[in-house]
Structure 1
């Protein structure tokens, strides 16, 4: 089944294009991003033998989910406030984040029968819950995407000997930049202009470093790179997608989103690209 996500009491139907709006839209969009990212990164849970494999699996899921999500929030001092629920078919995950503290609870809607004891039982339970679990990968595009792209373009090229990207201590900036790291030799064309990579210098547009490019084109490039790097079936969460875009450019970007084979959640006060509005 398609996962059902509820953020701060409002269901977010990922199978449709959504616009989060209202005073709590940014907090809700970021909470949605980290909840989906944590779910996507959840490992299999059969490594620790429990006397009761079913209750042990439930307890391990709660602990691991909270641990992974905290590992994303703490380095960059990302402060989230809110509640979330995930309906994953066979089980439900609910949680609350407040003042740096996190609580996670799992409710098992269905339970496997005739479970063995020991490690074999843990494998059976884990396979029962993970076998058809949908875990879409989320991508995040911040409202200040043009400035971040210009400022950190040197870190966007995959290096041969050292790690690419930027550290988690930069918070939401790192979530954006590290999701669009490009392979060496990458090129793409936007409005007849060529974006290319240089191993040492970063990204160039027709030979010009990105910090010389105007805000509208930088915003276009940010959206284009995010769409290119997000695989089919992923969830793209975009803050203020209309920022710095002229009416003509909006139509161009609209066509990009129409071709995207994944879910799109806009976080904006304006329903520029169409979608079901959810007020928070």
Structure 2
């Protein structure tokens, strides 16, 4: 069994003080993908930077205090790649030092941690998100082809910052014109699944469920009312997705027990 967890930690140093370290010590995951680390490795406490029993790859952002992704693995990765430039994908080099993508090769599978830009309608942030999406789709198509040639499966885990369907956020009607649920963003994610032939693993295992949500705003009583969004995904090649046997969101029991505004999303795959 291969168990993979993805979670946006909303600042790893802060999360470490709120319960992430204890969670890490108890998890049965084999691979953990983190987003929004927002720290250089040397700024992190030892129990997070080099936790016992884990191999850790960090991809911090050049802009200090922003973004940052990481992958924790029980076994040393065979290959590490930061960013997705260098594969003849126009525009991809812009994001090589943005702390938004890292991938590692493990036996038979490539695992990536993705932090897609969040965006805000009518601002340069949304333009950045659109540029990222334009470059990332052809990269995903090429990644799948290269992996297949090597007999490998792929899973891209992370905060995609897009709710794909109405079932993926509680208050979808009031968010139709907001970044994260724009028609063009949702259509792009459809293209990832259809044109690039990837599978939204959690949705495949929970086809009719509302959510399961993975992010709740700190504003108001969003968490207590379960007014959440499902924006954290494990998107896998069909062969790996077909081996998924269980998927769940590790939602905290209470608001005060949270160590991030996101909850870990975990999937177990048959080996």
When normalised by structure 1's length, the TM-score is 0.29
1 or 2 for the larger relative contact order (CA 8 Å, sep ≥6)? 1
Q: Hey, which of these two has a bigger chunk of helix by percent?
A: 1
Q: Which has the larger radius of gyration?
A: 1
When normalised by structure 2's length, the TM-score is 0.30
